[in-house]
């Protein structure tokens, strides 16, 4: 069997045993094709004066988020795990509960939200998350905090975006803490 593995590897295919060193069967990237995180718009919402604002579908589309989840699993080092993404997402759910259920104003939760960037930098420095996930957190913290209405950007923009990444990531991300 070692001969078959080396032949498959020389042909440019992933590890047939699914040891985690290659990509999952059926998800091989053609030779020479470079993987990349998708580029997203600067703001969550489509231009216009609509109330409530309309979320740009680029932030929740399968095309973008599935590609992002695959990248964070197969190309980023270290690979992002379900445990790590859930840690950050649960932090956001706590903030959401404070805003929606407890009725706190944005200024009371803003510091907790901005701490996401600090937590991401710490986790990346400890090699628990890939740099690309830290960039994802940093860019989205900036999108929210620099918007005219951070509360709406958080609740109607960032949360659905992050939830979509968690959902599409369930099929790709490595299990673990």
**Does any domain span residue 34?**
no
Cβ-count burial of 34 within 10 angstroms (0-12 exposed, 13-18 middle, 19+ buried)? exposed
Phi and psi of 4, rounded to 5°? -65, -40
Q: State the pTM of this model.
A: 0.78
In terms of DSSP H, where are the helices of 106-158?
A: 106-125, 131-145, 150-152
Angle in degrees, CA 173, 170, 150, rounded to 5: 95
**Does any domain span residue 51?**
no
**Does any domain span residue 17?**
no
pLDDT band for 19, please (50, 70, 90 cuts). Answer: very low
Question: Which pLDDT score is estimated for 32?
Answer: 44
Q: Residue 72 sits in which domain range?
A: 57-177
Q: How many domains does the chain have?
A: 1
**Does any domain span residue 126?**
yes
**Does any domain span residue 175?**
yes
**Does any domain span residue 72?**
yes
- Give the integer Cα–Cα distance in Å for 40 and 170: 21
Residues 6+ apart with CB under 8 A from 135: 37
Question: Which pLDDT score is estimated for 46?
Answer: 84
**Does any domain span residue 38?**
no
Taking only the tens place, the pLDDT of each residue in 84-117 is 999 999 999 999 999 999 999 999 999 999 999 9
Taking only the tens place, the pLDDT of each residue in 109-167 is 999 999 999 999 999 999 999 999 999 999 999 999 999 999 999 999 999 999 999 99
**Greater model confidence, 172 or 107:** 107
Question: Which pLDDT score is estimated for 6?
Answer: 61
Phi and psi of 12, rounded to 5°? 95, 15
Question: Which pLDDT score is estimated for 118?
Answer: 96
């Amino acid at each position: 069997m070692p001969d078959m593995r080396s032949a498959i590897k020389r042909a440019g295919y992933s590890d047939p045993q699914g040891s985690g060193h290659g990509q999952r069967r059926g998800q091989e990237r053609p030779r020479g094709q470079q993987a990349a995180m998708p580029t997203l718009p600067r703001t969550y919402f489509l231009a216009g004066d609509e109330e409530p604002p309309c979320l740009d579908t680029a932030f929740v589309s399968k095309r973008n988020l599935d590609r992002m989840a695959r990248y964070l699993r197969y190309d980023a080092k270290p690979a992002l795990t379900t445990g790590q993404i859930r840690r950050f997402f649960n932090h956001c759910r706590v903030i959401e509960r404070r805003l929606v259920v407890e009725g706190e104003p944005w200024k009371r939760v803003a510091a907790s939200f901005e701490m996401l960037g600090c937590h991401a930098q710490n986790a990346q420095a400890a090699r628990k998350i890939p740099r690309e996930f830290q960039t994802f957190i940093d860019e989205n913290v900036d999108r929210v905090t620099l918007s005219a209405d951070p509360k709406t950007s958080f609740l109607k923009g960032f949360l659905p975006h992050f939830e979509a990444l968690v959902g599409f990531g369930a099929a790709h991300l490595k299990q673990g803490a």
